[in-house]
Amino acid sequence: MNDAAGGDGAAPPSPGTLQVFRAFLLIGATSVGGGVAAYLRSSLVRKHRWIDDASFIQMLSLSQTLPGLNATNMAVLVGDRLRGGPGAVAALVGICLPGALIMTASAVAYGAHGDRPVVTAALHTVAAAAVGLVFAVLAQLGRGSVRRVADLCFMGLAVLGVNWLHLPVPYVLLGVGAVAIWWYRPRGPARQAAGP
């Protein structure tokens, strides 16, 4: 069962454009580095229950294959699903606005004080927190989407292709994706009865 399902099975009401903007504004203001996927899942799937885990994983996968930042791609996809074009714009502005303001202020401060050891230490701390958040998302999503040995093999092939063979991510996604589609293709009744 996914986290989006309520105890009574009733779906929450569709949010308004302003609600979408506020949710993504909060995500943009509180998420750290690569851990934004954890904040997106926590807000969209668990807190607001606007989408379920399966939809979240599909949109995250699509976001990672498209050019641009995963967080902004997710904002556009989710906003469009919730409120159409206006929702996509509201989500995009909401998630980008805090980062733009904070990065502008940080750039000014870093230009004036970036050579101090305490600043370097703070940046290392933030980087470590972001890595921890990425692992948290991996564990949360892995429980719901990795169910077979073949899933682990496809994950291993992707890691091998990107990290060890240094292949471009789109090529790895296309190659591993094609093999996974072939592996999980629908089979005829006679082959299903005989087993894979």
Q: Pick the closest to residue 94 from 27, 161, 37 (CA basis).
A: 27
- List, for residues 67-76, the tens digit of each pLDDT value: 888 889 999 9
In sequence order, the 6+-apart residues with CB closer than 8 A to the CB of 107 are: none
Q: How many CA atoms lie within 13 A of 127 on its CB side?
A: 6
Show the CA angle centred on residue 8, arms to residues 4 and 9, nearest 5°.
50
Task: Check: CB of residue 76 under 8 Å from CB of residue 59.
Answer: no
List, for residues 82-132, the tens digit of each pLDDT value. Answer: 999 999 999 999 999 998 998 888 888 877 776 778 877 877 787 777 777
pLDDT tens-digit map of 138-173: 777 667 677 788 888 888 898 898 889 888 888 888
- Rounded CA-CA distance 11/50 in Å is 8
Q: State yes or no: pLDDT of 1 exceeds 50.
A: no
d(C-alpha 157, C-alpha 101), whole Å: 39
Please report the DSSP string for 65-95 in residue order. Answer: HSSS-HHHHHHHHHHHHHHHHHHHHHHHHHH
Compute how many other C-beta atoms are within 10 angstroms of the C-beta atom of residue 93: 16
Phi then psi for 165, rounded to 5 degrees?
Answer: -90, -10
pTM score, whole prediction: 0.60
Contacts of 35 (CB under 8 A, 6+ apart): 129, 130, 132, 133, 134, 136, 137
pLDDT of residue 34: 62
**In whole angstroms, what is the distance from residue 162 CA to residue 154 CA?**
12
Task: Tell me how far CA of residue 31 lies from CA of 13, 49, 75, 99, 130, in angstroms.
Answer: 25, 19, 13, 9, 9
pLDDT digits 0-9 by tens, 25-63: 999 888 766 667 888 888 999 999 999 988 998 898 888
